[in-house]
Amino acid sequence: MKNKTFDVVGKKKIFYTVSIAVILLSIVFTLIFGMNVAIEFKGGTIITYSYTGSVDENAVAASAREITGQQCNATLGESLADGSTTVALSFPSSEGLTADLQSELSDKLQEQFADSGLELYSSQDVDPSTGSGFFGKCIVAVIFSAIVMIVYIGFRFRRIGGWVAGCCAVVALVHDMFFVYACCLVCRFDVDSNFMAVLLTILGYSINATIIIYDRIRENRRLYGDEKTLGELVNMSVSQSFGRSVHTTATTVIAMATICIVSLIAGVESILSFAFPLVIGLLAGVYSSNCIAPTLWTVWQGAIDKKHAKAEN
């Protein structure tokens, strides 16, 4: 395996087809089924009740929907402050619930689930403008990170067409984000702070693997000069770095996969909605770092080199 060279450049059309298919399917899936936007971005009301014994969260949610006439999701949890068991009712709405409606809801739920001893624990209204502002800041952070990466890669790898390498790396990052988004769509996870945290984590993780590939390309170009074509340089560089990329990612993926299994068994969806998309993002990052970013650089830089050669002639 040490002497084996992978022909990633020769198979670039296959890689591009797979990636474009995932992106298009995620867009179509969004148009057909929509995406679940969390209250923290969309706005609404979160009412939390403490209870004793056991309670059926689906029955509580169904009753809440009937009482309020609004969409409602129920989530069981445990308070870190006093250890009491809780059921949180989420009402995604731009208007939220009025105080009178919240009072009526509490009275009727306490009457219907008297055996569970429901007691109002907390109530929180999320302003839609606050949620959209938070979402906008997250997007700005992602865009700013992408610009910084282009500038950094452009300066560090200026000998191999730095700005081209930087743009290709950012395209690969956008590709990884689409894979994470597709995962959330299929699994019906909410687009929430966990989603944004996964994106920012993937930004740092994936770009590191891409930079390693670029570093190998730069070094091999210095060693071989014009003896090898861009495609040969990329195939050689990817092959030399492939083992490291796979082993590094495998250790992280195994750890996160273990967390996913524990979360499934324990029924902790808040952790699962972070860990599983992160696993998909890590795998997409290895794929894009080895198969998307360097092959795109080959196509783009090759076109620039041909243009310069033609101008000189």
- Residue 121: is its pLDDT beyond 50? yes
Question: At 130, is the pLDDT very low, low, confident or very high (cuts 50, 70, 90)?
Answer: low
Q: Which residue has the higher pLDDT, 292 or 142?
A: 292
pTM of the model: 0.80
Contact by Cβ (8 Å): 48, 88? yes
Amino acid identity, position 105? L
Greatest Cα-to-Cα distance within the chain, rounded to the nearest angstrom:
88
Contact by Cβ (8 Å): 139, 146? no
Residue recorded with tokens 């148009």: 31
**Percent of the chain clearing pLDDT 90 (strictly above):** 21
Q: Which of 50-59, 128-137, 184-193, 288-297 has the lowest mean pLDDT?
A: 128-137
- Residue 94: is its pLDDT beyond 70? no
Looking at residue 280, what is its pLDDT? 94
Question: At 277, is the pLDDT very low, low, confident or very high (cuts 50, 70, 90)?
Answer: very high
Helix spans in the chain (H): 12-33, 39-42, 57-68, 99-112, 128-156, 162-187, 193-224, 230-266, 269-287, 293-312
Looking at residue 193, what is its pLDDT? 80
- Alpha carbons 166 and 245: distance in angstroms, whole number: 19
pLDDT per residue as tens digits for the range 33-82: 888 777 777 778 888 888 888 888 888 889 988 888 888 888 887 776 67
Class of residue 251 by CB neighbours under 10 A (exposed 0-12, middle 13-18, buried 19+): exposed
DSSP state letters, 219-266: HHHHHHGGGS-HHHHHHHHHHHHHHHHHHHHHHHHHHHHHHHHHHHHH
Looking at residue 27, what is its pLDDT? 92
**Percent of the chain clearing pLDDT 70 (strictly above):** 95
- Alpha carbons 156 and 166: distance in angstroms, whole number: 10
- Alpha carbons 313 and 291: distance in angstroms, whole number: 33
Domains, the chain, with CATH or none: 12-35+130-306 (1.20.1640.10), 44-126 (3.30.70.3400)
**Mean pLDDT in residue range 13-40:** 89
- Alpha carbons 174 and 168: distance in angstroms, whole number: 10
Question: At 3, is the pLDDT very low, low, confident or very high (cuts 50, 70, 90)?
Answer: low
**Mean pLDDT in residue range 11-20:** 93
DSSP 8-state symbol, 84? -
Question: At 1, is the pLDDT very low, low, confident or very high (cuts 50, 70, 90)?
Answer: very low
Contact by Cβ (8 Å): 177, 288? no
Question: At 24, is the pLDDT very low, low, confident or very high (cuts 50, 70, 90)?
Answer: very high
Q: Which residue has the higher pLDDT, 84 or 254?
A: 254
Looking at residue 208, what is its pLDDT? 84
**Mean pLDDT in residue range 139-152:** 83
Q: Which two tokens stand for residue 222?
A: 């210095």
Closest-CA residue to 118 (of 44, 64, 45)? 64
* Residues forming a β-bridge with 44: 92, 126
- Residue 192: is its pLDDT beyond 90? no
Looking at residue 14, what is its pLDDT? 94
Instruction: Provide the mean pLDDT of the chain.
Output: 85
Looking at residue 282, what is its pLDDT? 92
Question: Taking the CB of residue 243, how many other CB atoms lie within 10 A of it?
Answer: 11
Looking at residue 33, what is its pLDDT? 85
- Alpha carbons 180 and 273: distance in angstroms, whole number: 11
